Amino acid sequence: MTFLNPILLWGVPALLLPVVIHLLNRLRYRSVKWAAVMFLVSATRSSVRHARLRHFLILLFRVLVVLLFILALSRPLIGGWLGISIAGPAETIIILLDRSASMEAVDPRQRVSKRQYALDMFKKEIQETSSSSRLVLVENVLCRPQEIAGVSVLDAMVTTGPTDTAADIPAMLRSALDYMIDNSTGRTEIWMASDFQSSNWRPGSREWQNISAQMASLPQDVRVRLLDLGETYGRNMSVALHDAVQRRSSDARRLSVSVDIARETLSQDVFPMIVTLDGTRSKVDVALQGQSMRYLKRMEIADEKDPGGWGKIEVPADENNRDNACYFVYGSHPPLTAAVVSSDTESARYLGLAIAPAPGLVNTFCEQSFPEDWAKLSLNALAMVAWQAELPEKGVARLVDYINDGGSVVFFPPSGGAEAGGAGNAGTNGFSQLLGFDWGAVDQSPAEEPFRIIAWEENEGPLAGTSDGRALPAGELAFFRRRGLRLSDGTGDNWHAIAGYQDGKPFLMRRSIGKGRAYLCTSLPRDDWSEMKNGRIIVPMLQRMLSVGGRRLSGIDFGTCGDWKPDNEDETWRSMDSPDQKDVRWHAGVYRHGGRVIALNRSLREDNPEIVDASELQDLFGEVKVQVLKGLEKQVDDAVQSEIWHIFICCALACMMVESALLLQEKKRRGRNEDSWR
Amino acid sequence: MARFADRDFIDSAVVARLSRLQVNAATPMLGSVTGIHKSATRGSSVEFAEYRKYVPGDDIKHVDWRVYARSDRFYMKEFEADTNLRCHIILDTSASMSFEAEHGRKFDYARRMAATLAYLLVHQGDGVGLHCFADKIVHDIPPRRTPSHLKNIFDTLAVVEPAGKTEVVKVIHDLAERISQRALVVVFSDFFTEVAPLLDCFQHMRYRKHDLAVFHLLDRQELDFKFDRPIRFDDAESTFKLITDPSVVREGYRRAIDDYLSDMLRGCREFNVDYQRVMTDEDYEKSLAAFLLQRMRMT
């Protein structure tokens, strides 16, 4: 138990006040010379025991009254499931179940996963305290409310099972909030169970402010009870696919699969890694130095395996088996063609070189187009479009459909237009509204202190490290000019920063639209803009964007479990890696639908060890009452709890009534004695 | 007759009013001279007492010849004898009698009653003795019926002050043995001792054929026990002290003293002891008048 006004606890010595008054009263006696002492002595023997007990009880209740008032004024907070019992059952309980991959970590003491523990805990508490409440389940994959008849069905539901997905906590809360707005839920409690992964909670998102404000303004009483399952056990090892590239040499085809291996301890230096290629398993002993490494596995592929196949890499079982495997597919790649739409000759030239540095060797080609001619491009055959011009005003739907279909579009700032300090496009057109951004003013760096990239995603994405584990030299480049970005309020949150300058402004951003991706790069490969012309950043960056866009054309694909969705619900995707029934919506694996093959891996966000600090929670939820319960330790976290001062006031009043009753009883008894003597 | 001017314990007006009443004995007395009390022996008064058979040696002048004529037997006619009595006033002078509430000391109350009673007895020709006691008899004046003797009694009452422990049981036993002739014994005390031994000594006194009257002096405060704050009670007869909250012990105290008084009253009735409970806030003249009237009705 904690207190909002703990300073008032210094008043606890006031408990002695009734005792001191009692003692002082006893000391203030007067002397009487008495003859009938013999009766006094016998009366003292018989009466004192009961009277002392009664007086002790009166004194005790007086002390309790003082204590309870002091405690009430100190505004105590209480947590734990006790708080639920005190508050009474809610009319509606919305269970937000985080069944992301990280929630499958098994506590060695409980021998159940965090997800299962949370389900068991919820079932038990609902059965004991809130069996009459309406139950609604919101889980992280479908992210839509499901009304359930009772807790007994929770275990049987497919939407409460384990997944390889990541969770989007603000989206889950938004779904719960929409349900509360659309339905008269009465007094509502949101029961959440989470391991507080920062990547799932996204504490920096502005969505939190909207959610907390709307939740607090709801007419019904809303409370959030949060089961904290953030404990880690320090024995986990994970493997994640970095890249799977098929290369053809003169004599053979080789598949290079690089994986990132990470673990929490240094206890095991050599471990067996199981590599499965087209169903054939082999074991490789891997020596792991340090806590993480990138491992490159090269495999020969027979020609008859053309056009492609699949594979899987596994590490030994540990506390969380959901992150012990990653999947890949390979196949023959058609030539990849990209288009550069630019009115700036210098930029267009270097962008074209970065996309197709040696067309005969790397099987990539580049087309050049002016902005006014871009409608003539055949987008269906393009793996990527590099747009270095003002944003288009015509043919917007065509370009958006291209991205939705899986294409990649990278936007570079127009080289002309507004100079430093000036505005870019005077107004926003339809395209910028759809994508949620617009170009701002050109920003010139001081001559002696150019802009530099200081933070970027090194594990995945266009600026990820090389297959041998080395990071791209993004930090070494100097940028002299950059263009500002104006992200619109409605859709701007969907843009995710991949790399940023030292002043926090973005260098590269990404947004997923449909099956494709759009990128924003705020500088240009021009001498007066940056050192990108040296190719150390822009070549791998554009090649990777091209590769992602090219999957649309190859028939093989990689996706993130949970994020990737079939084009329509009628498609039947069957698992290739396991005879067990797997659901493409939330299980990682290799799936086939007709001629299309996809390798779905768990989201790398699940490997992010960063968690949200408990002190941040109250900020995230704003004025919404939040109670955090330490789940597996069965301890109450005192950081965020609810007030129970009114209970202390009630107890104090009850004590006063008991004390008054004792006093009245004694007074009545005295009166009766007086009457009998008169 | 003693002068009252210097005796604050005797009030001439009270004495004058009470003189119209007699102090009667409840049982026949054995006096030395003719008096107003019925004697235990037959005498020569005009009041017929009984017949008895003639025995040789009887004076034939008391033979009832009319009875002889009717029954041919000799019966002697006997008459009541009137005699005086001896009254022993036993006054408790232990320290407990010094208890003083708003109506004064119990001892002063007892002294006034004893002095008035002594005066009335001497006034009607009876002998009065005074025995003041605490743990033993401290003043012992044998009964005489002369007015000068009354002065001795008053002088003693004037000087005696309550002090020492009470040994009422022992003293009454002693006096029961020492008082040879049947007499009226009047005890003034608070009797704060165990009831059973006290009743034993009363029985002893009755066994010796004494007419025993006890004045049980109590203060209203001792009965009501009306105190509201913690009080240290100092025993009047010892160094014992008890600090207690009266509200705590009041019920038990009252129960104890109620039981004690009930036992006392029952025992006195059983042994035919004239028990008079006297509250010191009442007028002593009234108490004494009630006592005398009750006695007069008995005879």
Regarding whether A436 and A538 lie in a shared domain, the answer is yes
Specify whether A407 is located in the same domain as A495.
Answer: yes
Between these two residues, B49 and A541, which has the higher pLDDT value?
Answer: A541
For residues A241 and A228, membership in a common domain is answered with: no
* Distance of residue B216 Cα from the nearest chain A Cα, in angstroms: 13
Distances (CA, A) of A186 to A131, A432, A489, A541: 16, 41, 32, 52
pLDDT band at A286 (very low <50, low <70, confident <90, very high): confident
Q: Is residue B290 over pLDDT 60?
A: yes
CA B78 to mean position of chain CA atoms: 31
- Looking at the predicted structure, is the pLDDT value of residue B6 above 70? no
- Is the separation of the CB atoms in A194 and A229 below 8 Å? yes
In chain B, the domains with their CATH numbers are 12-28+84-298 (3.40.50.410), 37-83 (no CATH)
Q: Please, are residues A524 and A347 in contact by the beta-carbon 8 Å criterion?
A: yes
Q: How many CA atoms lie within 13 A of A655 on its CB side?
A: 19
| Coil/strand/helix, residue A590 | strand
Residue from B94, B235, B260 whose CB has the most chain A CBs within 10 Å, to mutate: B235
Phi, psi angles (nearest 5°) of residue A521:
-115, 130
| DSSP letter assigned to residue A462 | T
Write out the residue range of the structural domain in which residue A574 sits: 237-332+556-607
What average pLDDT does range A105-126 have in this prediction?
Answer: 84
Does A35 contact B227 at a Cβ distance shorter than 8 Å? Answer: no
> Which domain CATH number covers A155?
3.40.50.410
Is the pLDDT at A489 greater than 80, yes or no? no
How far apart are the C-alpha atoms of B86 and B90, rounded to whole Å?
13
Chain centroid to CA B224: 26
CA distance A475 to A501: 9
Categorise residue A460: left if φ over 0, alpha if ψ from -120 to 50, beta otherwise: beta
Number of domains in chain A: 4
Tell me how far CA of residue B67 lies from CA of B56, B59, B78, B123, B223, in angstroms.
Answer: 18, 16, 13, 42, 61
| pLDDT for the residue A326 | 92
Interchain pair B242, A39: CB under 8 A: no
Check: CB of residue A1 under 8 Å from CB of residue A76.
Answer: yes
Whether residue A145 has a cis bond before it, omega within 30° of 0: no
Give dist(CA B185, CA A33) in Å, integer: 30
Cβ within 8 Å, pair B253-A43:
yes
d(CA B225, CA B252): 11
- Say if residue A523 is in the same domain as residue A471: yes
- Three-state secondary structure call for residue A217: coil
Check if the beta carbon of residue A626 is closer than 8 Å to that of residue A212: no
**B208–chain A nearest CA distance, Å:** 30
| The predicted structure's pLDDT at residue B264 | 93
Mark yes or no for CB contact A44/B249 under 8 Å.
yes
Q: Do A352 and A345 touch, CB atoms closer than 8 A?
A: no
Do A129 and A196 share a structural domain? yes
Cα A58 to its chain centre, rounded Å, is: 55
A interface with B, Cβ–Cβ < 8 A, is 25-26, 28-48, 51-52, 55, 666, 669-670, 673, 677
Q: Which of B231, B251, B257 shows the shortest C-beta gap to A29? A: B231
Tell me which of B251, B262, B279 to substitute to probe the interface with A (most A C-beta atoms closer than 10 Å): B251
Q: Which of A32, A666, A677 sits opposite B233 (nearest CB)?
A: A32
The stretch B142-152 carries a mean pLDDT of 87
B253 to A14, A47, A75, A85, A664: CA distances (angstroms): 36, 9, 48, 51, 21
In this structure, the answer to whether residues A402 and A260 fall within a common structural domain is no
**Whether residue A455 sits in one domain with residue A443:** yes
What token pair was written down for A43?
């009366």
Distance from C-alpha of A358 to C-alpha of A131, rounded to nearest angstrom: 69
Inter-axis angle of helices A645-677 and B246-270, nearest 10: 20
Record the tokens describing residue B297, joined without a space. Answer: 């009705």
Contact list, B100 vs chain A (CB under 8 Å): 33
> How much is the ipTM here?
0.78
Residue B275: which pLDDT band, with cuts at 50, 70 and 90? Answer: very high
Q: Is the pLDDT of residue B142 over 80?
A: yes
Look at residue A640 in the predicted model and tell me its pLDDT.
39
Q: Give the CATH number of the domain where residue A289 resides.
A: 2.60.40.10
Contacts of A38 in chain B (CB under 8 A): 192-193
**DSSP calls for A630-664:** ETTTTEE-SSS-EE-HHHHHHHHHHHHHHHHHHHH
* Residue A6, token pair as written in the block: 């703990």
Tell me which residues of chain B have a C-beta less than 8 Å from any C-beta of chain A.
96-100, 106, 190, 192-193, 219, 222-224, 227, 229-237, 240, 242-245, 247-257, 260
**Residue A85 sits in the same domain as residue A221:** yes
Do residue A481 and residue A394 come from a single domain? yes
If asked whether residues A103 and A206 sit together in one domain, one would say yes
What pTM did the predictor assign?
Answer: 0.52
Average pLDDT over residues A385-405: 83
* Most A-contacting residue of B224, B234, B250 (CB-CB within 10 A), to test interface: B250
Residue A643, pLDDT > 70, answer: no
Average pLDDT over residues A594-623: 83
Q: What is the structure's pLDDT at B260?
A: 93
Three-class SS of A602-636: CCHHHHCCCECCHHHHHHHHCCCEEEEEECCCCEE
Closest A-chain CA to B255? A43
Cα A94 to Cα A226: distance, rounded to the nearest angstrom: 12
- Return the pLDDT at A304: 55
A contacts of B162 (beta carbons < 8 Å): none
Rounded CA-CA distance B233/B222 in Å is 12
pLDDT, one tens digit per residue, over B23-70 is 777 776 666 666 656 666 656 665 666 778 888 888 888 888 888 899
> Which residues from B are below 8 Å from A42, CB to CB?
252, 256
For residues A511 and A584, state if they share a domain: no
pLDDT digits (tens, 9 = 90+) for A13-46: 888 888 898 888 777 788 888 888 888 888 877 6
Over the Cα atoms of chain B, what is R_g? 23
pLDDT digits 0-9 by tens, A305-319: 556 788 999 988 888
- Percentage of the residues of chain A whose pLDDT score is greater than 90: 13
Is-cis flag, bond preceding A307, omega within 30? yes
pLDDT at position B119 is: 92
The CATH number given to whatever domain includes residue A542 is 3.40.50.880
**Beta strand A76-78 pairing with A642-643:** antiparallel
Across A234-243, A573-582, B167-176, the highest mean pLDDT is recorded for B167-176
pLDDT of residue A60: 92
Whether residue B183 contacts residue B85, with contact meaning beta carbons closer than 8 Å, is answered with yes
Q: How far is CA A587 from CA A159, A390, A600, in A?
A: 12, 42, 8
A531 with A478: CB under 8 angstroms? yes
How far is residue A114's CA from residue A112's CA, in Å, rounded to a whole number? 7
Buried b (16+ CB within 10 A) or exposed e, B31-42: beeebbbbbeeb
Cα B27 from chain centroid (whole Å): 13
CB-CB under 8 Å, B231 with A25: no
State which H helix or E strand residue B91 sits in: strand B86-92
Contact A36 B192 (CB under 8 A): yes
Say what the pLDDT of residue A307 is: 64
CB contact under 8 A, B242 and A677: no
Q: Which helix (H) or strand (E) holds B79?
A: strand B75-83
Shortest CA gap A661–chain B (Å):
17
For residue A667, the surrounding DSSP H or E stretch is: helix A645-677
A446: Cβ–Cβ under 8 A, 6 or more apart, which residues? none
The tokens for A634 are 């069965």
Q: Which amino acid is at A95?
A: I
Percentages helix, strand, coil for chain A (3-state, rounded to 5) are 35, 30, 35
pLDDT at B48: 66
Q: pLDDT tens digits for B93-124? A: 999 999 888 888 999 999 999 999 999 988 88
Nearest to A326 by CA among A514, A459, A142, A481: A459
Neighbours of A388 (CB within 10 A): 23
Helix H or strand E segment including B50: strand B37-53
Of A176-185, B4-13, B140-149, least confident by mean pLDDT is: B4-13
Distances (CA, A) of A461 to A56, A353, A441: 75, 21, 27
Give residue-wise pLDDT tens across range A341-390: 998 888 899 999 998 887 656 678 888 888 888 888 888 888 899 999 88
A489 and A373 together in one domain:
yes
Q: Is A641 exposed, middle or buried (0-12, 13-18, 19+ CB in 10 A)?
A: buried
Calculate how close chain B gets to A663, using CA atoms only, in Å. 12
Q: How far is B137 from chain A (nearest CA, A)?
A: 20
Nearest residue, CB atoms, B192 vs list A38, A45, A47? A38
Cross-chain residue pair A38–B190, CB shorter than 8 Å: no
Distance CA A621, CA A169 (A): 12
Q: What is the dihedral of CA A602, A606, A607, A610, to 10 degrees?
A: 170
Q: What is the mean pLDDT of residues A67-90?
A: 72
